Chains A and B, each alone.
Chain A
């Protein structure tokens, strides 16, 4: 395989020609030609909806192209299903980790591996041993006999990656694998990705984070609106080039916050504790202030937000809103007190997928749309269309199921829902995860405007540039405790990371 003299090494591993794909008459991919070489890490970049994920799914047999051919090692192949892809040595690690939550980690790793009779014995002992070996390889400590349910997203992702290693794939496609990982886990992943590349495997890496792409990848291909715009060695392109190619226009400086006048304390939290999740959390957020809450995934930030909003009330500690001590035991009380919470995982706890955009937007204000218990369609429509206009939500119709919108527009609709409740305190939990650079910029503007209008904002984010650019102050959590309260002037990537990394790991 590494024999340089063999002409085969010049044949690309994958040669895709004229790949097009339409869904219900809408062309999402147009005549894409792309070669993937053996032993390279190849980035696919583009805004959401640019076609990079669709292209990846075609290679993985999830979708079949409407037109075009794929050759593997020079031989035309028909990747008609994920099973065929697997047999050909192609693994796709999905953006949303897919797993079987009721089965053990070990089973999730080996399931679907081909071969053996259907009534063949499941080799539990060997399976568990193999799973342990794979997780050790990734440097992840977990009990592989436990069910997947209850693992963090980061751990689930690790299992996905281990699964690709398990099936010894020649082409591993990672669709935004690093988004939920801690820096240490990202390092581990990159080390492993490089090792796999050096073994002659090909990695396709889809990410929104340019610095990661630069750190890891050899070549990059940029997609826009279903077209392949460019393929080049990463060294030949500057960040500005890449962004310009991705969005088709230069991006103006979006990370600039208009400072709002900071007023009285809107939210005051004292010694909030929830055993096993977080302890002794004390902080305040003033009107017009944007307070960031940084830390690693699993540090307990979301748990604090959920406690404040009454989803899982804290065991002890006090919360005061506008100077009055309140007891919030369930979300409806939180809403009445002027709190709003845009949750981290919109697919699970944010949207009503099959309901219309309109119904989703007005879901938190039943008394406004249904005075006396009967829904007035006219009011509902007026409120929703006003929101759509204000937040520039792109959609076909207000009656469209929200699940059909892009991630960024879904997120806007959820923000719109909470703005209708006219909240005085807004908790945003990873509001820009997985949304395009263009929509992100709009979000940043909106967050700035909301603060300027006198609302107190608690912004949970794992993206350091986001915290640095938007926040007046950055709180940092680590392993359930508040480890830093850094004013804007002193906040740097280093100071936040220093506080975010658990002590034991600093020592290591």
Chain B
């Protein structure tokens, strides 16, 4: 009974309810939504956002924000694709290493700027959002890297053929989620991320290595954006300097916030963010299916996010109320 109650009181419950309600409604209108092939659509949409959202979650828990994930993704994807184009024979592993490494450097630069100049992350990463995008144009000469330059095995990782029931990019995303879960909950540094976001002014007094923690979260966010970058190349088979990762930060941050991560830092769980990403995935898969024209989709998208947050908020308030009553009864 107590276990059931504690599950009901969890923050993640609201978003979970939102997903179920949404799927039931859409499923009633379009039964095909609940079919297996549609599940695959969602499965291919979700991994990129999922991976970047894990990094963004850590940054936001530390009471910062990374607006540059989309541009970091784009730059890392472009550099990796350029490498494949110039040296078609390099092993795939090197491609992953380069994408992740470049992303990590971009994230490190974000973190370093925040620390050294004591600037708010929202300003710094707004700047690098444009800076990194601009560098992508410069590096690529504003030209798209087409399908034929993306290695076949890389593209195969996103293959949706029946013999690949679980595409590799899904496996990678699951691995990233599990690693992040371990990092956030069971590593010393991970707990320090929560501590920093929970009370930044107390952190140095308590021996939290603020600089190291800040650099770490931004680097992880960048590295995961880089990983999402090479997976973008895998998923879509091309890299375009203006499209690749454009507006991606919106989806990532939306998923994180829907997942119950407090923008004020200190609060958030991997499970919540996973659910947040899944809700976004369901919405994205549902809209075309429902025949909603592209012109209206973004409005609906925004509306769903707000509705999800409202449901989450009301569930949470009920939870807090239940907790206070419980405390009152104790005394």
Q: Which residues on A are within 8 Å of B, measured CB to CB?
A: 62, 81-83, 86, 94, 98-103, 107, 111-114, 116-122, 124, 150, 275-277, 298, 479-480
Contacts and interface: CB of A to CB of B under 8 A. Distances in A.
B288 interface: no
Given A107-B191, A111-B191, A120-B188, A275 B328 contact: yes
Interface stretch (B120-128, B200-208, B241-249): B200-208
A275 B221 CA distance: 46
12 contacts: A82-B207, A94-B205, A98-B199, A98-B201, A99-B199, A100-B194, A100-B195, A103-B194, A119-B187, A120-B188, A121-B186, A276-B324
3 A-B pairs with least C-beta separation: A276-B328, A112-B207, A102-B266
B267 interface: yes
Interface of B: 183, 185-192, 194-195, 197-199, 201-202, 204-208, 212, 216, 266-267, 323-325, 327-329, 331
Contacts of B216: 118
Contacts of A119: 183, 187-189
Given A62-B205, A94-B205, 18 more contacts: A82-B204, A83-B207, A86-B207, A98-B199, A101-B266, A102-B194, A111-B207, A111-B208, A116-B188, A118-B187, A118-B189, A118-B192, A122-B186, A122-B191, A150-B327, A276-B324, A276-B331, A480-B331
Contacts of A124: 186
Contacts of A120: 187-188
Nearest to A124: B186
A98 B206 contact: yes
A100 B199 contact: yes
A468 B267 CA distance: 45
A164 B195 CA distance: 18
Given A98-B206, A150-B323, A276-B325, A111 B195 contact: yes
A62 B207 CA distance: 11
Contacts of A111: 191-192, 195, 206-208
Nearest to A275: B328
A121 B188 CA distance: 6
Contacts of B189: 118-119
Contacts of A113: 207
Contact of A122 (B187, B202, B208, B324): B187
A99 B199 CA distance: 7
Contacts of A100: 194-195, 198-199, 202, 206, 266
Nearest to A502: B331
Nearest to B185: A122
Q: Which of B201, B204, B216, B329 neighbours the largest number of chain A CB atoms within 10 Å of its CB?
A: B204
A118 B212 contact: yes
A150 B331 CA distance: 14
Contacts of B198: 100-103
B188 A122 contact: yes
A53 to B, nearest CB: 14
A111 B216 CA distance: 18
Contacts of B324: 276
A96 to B, nearest CB: 10
A62 B199 CA distance: 16
B208 A112 contact: yes
A221 to B, nearest CB: 24
Contacts of A275: 325, 328
A102 B261 CA distance: 12
Nearest to A127: B191
A23 B191 CA distance: 34
A77 to B, nearest CB: 17
